[in-house]
Amino acid sequence: MPARGPYILAIDQGTTGTTVLLFDQALEIRGRGYREIPQIFPRPGEVEHDPEAIWRSVTESIGAALADAAAPDIATGIAAIGVTNQRETTILWDRKTGAAVANAIVWQDRRTAPDCAALKAAGIEPLVRERTGLVLDPYFSATKISWLLDRVPGLRTRAKAGEVAFGTVDSFLAWRLSGGAAHVTDASNASRTLLYDLNRREFSDELAQIFGVPREILPTVVGSADVVARTKGVPGLPDGLPVAGIAGDQQAALFGQDCLAPGDVKCTFGTGAFVLMNVGDVPVRSSSGLLGTVAWTIDGVTSYALEGSAFVAGALVQWLRDGLGIIDRAADIEPLARSVEDSGGVTIVPALAGLGAPHWRPDARGIITGITRGTTRAHIARAALEAIALQNVELVDAMRADAHRPINQMRVDGGAAANDLLMQLQADFLGVPVLRPAMVESTALGAAKLAARGVGLALREPVDGAAAGRLFTPTMPEATRLACLGRWRTAVAKA
């Protein structure tokens, strides 16, 4: 049967792999592809990706999604492509060949902590916070760019001569998808570089000079729902398909969860945990260790968000599997954790890559406290789920303070959101209901919705409540909740 369409191809390029989903006009998934990407750990605290492995994972996932759809010529029915991506990860490539000049430095990487410390000592951070809404931390792109320019021989000279391009992963993919015709990034990704002025909505010459980043390497900032490129030479896809939606993964999830009004909140449970609140069309500067960021720019109007990020969430489960061998598969953690009533007093602080918001301590290290002779692997498994949820309580408390409004519900998505015990613990520790939609892949969904908007494609979203999902309501006694929070705060102080 020939392809009918129209379809939307959503590319979700994440930290551990790439997912490609083919949506129809009713936002039903018609094809799915996934490929992992290798993680490279050159030294403690350093995390890299091979950009060619990223691109290969994208093309192979596209092929797998089209094959999964099992319809002849389905690619001809694609109306738009949406891209969403791991943010802050930094890639530099040769403008002539398109080849990366070094491995990508991943958002989790901490190698530029000394550079950030030096800038803080020089009194630069207040200006950076005012301009960007961010903090001086190795998490963001600017110090990664400068590190590469100074470490790869001759690269800074080539960059100043305009021979080198910088991009976060969205920019790199737009370049590759377009056969090198488009060097762009959307405002949500630009706002994660430490180089983007939130008020002026453009890259800042002043910030570029502070961080030693030549303006010649920066991409053009575009809207999140604009046609910004067209495919050329992409395996499995016809030339000329519009790339019409781009957003960082967390902003895409916010859009995918329909958090379109100020005060709407979502949390994505992926490699890390990311809580975002839509704050409307005026940026909010945090006094509680959160980030101000662009949510998206659509039709020339920019919406902003407050964000709190915990660097390690699903990655903690991976560590229990790969590092400690406590579980064989990630899915095993829930039944193991359910086999005990509580963590037996065990508390884990998962600072495996430092602590993010609201602490911003790149020097922090993970700890496990409260271990006794009676501690079992089940207690450690349950403590790990509790740790993921407890991190988010700190983020939400800071968000309440900065936004000056209560949070009555949290919407959730991401792979770990499928864990019922984790979602119940999250509701219990927050003291508010947690809503998990029927489709937890909100990141790809957001990219698809943005792309559809970019080409003017009307979507037929469900109106019968079929996508409502499941609501988790708090059931934990208040005394138990407070005791857990107390143990958590004590443990964090030791990390």
If asked whether residues 174 and 208 sit together in one domain, one would say yes
pLDDT tens digits, the chain, 495 residues: what are they? Answer: 345 679 999 999 999 899 999 999 999 999 999 999 999 999 988 999 999 999 999 999 999 999 998 877 888 899 999 999 999 999 999 999 999 999 999 998 989 999 999 999 999 999 999 999 998 989 899 999 999 999 999 999 999 999 999 999 999 999 999 999 999 999 999 999 999 999 899 999 999 999 999 999 999 999 999 999 999 999 999 999 999 999 999 999 999 998 998 888 899 888 888 899 998 898 888 888 898 999 999 999 999 999 998 888 888 998 999 999 999 998 999 999 999 999 999 999 988 878 877 887 878 889 999 999 999 999 999 999 999 999 999 999 888 888 888 888 899 988 888 899 999 999 999 999 999 998 878 899 999 999 999 999 988 766 554 457 899 999 999 999 999 999 999 998 887
**Residue 449 counted as domain residue:** no
**Residue 334 counted as domain residue:** yes
Identity of the amino acid at 186: D
If asked whether residues 266 and 227 sit together in one domain, one would say no
Structure tokens at 471: 């609501």
The enclosing domain of 39 has a CATH number of 3.30.420.40
The answer to whether the CB of 293 falls within 8 A of the CB of 188 is yes
Structure tokens at 231: 């495919």
If asked whether residues 354 and 288 sit together in one domain, one would say yes
CA 456 to chain centre: 26
If asked whether residues 343 and 290 sit together in one domain, one would say yes
If asked whether residues 343 and 268 sit together in one domain, one would say yes
Cα separation, 220 vs 235, whole angstroms: 26
Residue 233 is classified by DSSP as S
Cα separation, 283 vs 286, whole angstroms: 10
If asked whether residues 214 and 264 sit together in one domain, one would say no
**Residue 157 counted as domain residue:** yes
Q: Following CA atoms 486, 488, 490, 494 in sequence, which dihedral angle do they give, to the nearest 10 degrees?
A: 180
End-to-end CA gap in the chain: 59
If asked whether residues 226 and 275 sit together in one domain, one would say no
> What pTM value is reported for the model?
0.84
Cα separation, 399 vs 358, whole angstroms: 10
If asked whether residues 236 and 264 sit together in one domain, one would say no
Structure tokens at 363: 């020097």
Which DSSP helix (H) or strand (E) runs through 471?
Answer: strand 470-472
Closest by CA position to 156, among listed 106, 91, 210, 214: 214
Which residues span the domain enclosing 379?
258-436+462-495
Locate tokens 């094809």: which residue? 31
